[in-house]
Structure 1
């Protein structure tokens, strides 16, 4: 992933975080992504979840190389950048709402279960050196 891509991704997630603070959390858990979701949707979910986990969960870090591998597997091309940016904003809003609804401890545990060393969605995108508090 190019440096500018990482920077625009971080900016998109930061702006989405500010917008999420103004939107109330949904009453019920958002449905899990459908099995038929596109590779672009799956990457947006993984990127938003892991980057927000790094921000919200103590001791958790995104392994950028693993996230880049997911992006390459999704085959994101230059023509999809605008669509990806919009999907990232939308997904980041949903992830932040879920974080607020579940609480940090529960949400962080779920994020690590999905993207941590033994991840059920993608292994090793998140690493932790300290227990979640």
Structure 2
């Protein structure tokens, strides 16, 4: 059965989703209980926001309206990096785990930036035709 085209088909969403899943499985479980409502909560919210904003942007009709959600997602992914740095500094995660997640975050940002720039080029091409 063929799946309809949705935001799930976007590479930027797929990478952010994988990042979110790995954070839950490999990072937040290492935090002490004292971080339950602090760093853990912030990291979970940022990772959820990254995928949710891509999904919401995809669901919007107008380029400018959808684009602001992609920028929000980019901000959330950057926030994840800050939280991962904090987790490393507090020694909740090892330097190796930090490097793994930093690489995932950078890849997510690169792909999302590429998608944003692609949409911008397409918008410019379309608006020049009209």
1 or 2, which has the higher helix percentage?
2
Structure with higher Rg: it is 2
1 or 2, which has the higher strand percentage?
1
Flag the structure with more relative contact order, 1 or 2, with Cα contacts below 8 A and sequence separation at least 6: 1
TM-score (norm 1): 0.31
TM-score (norm 2): 0.31
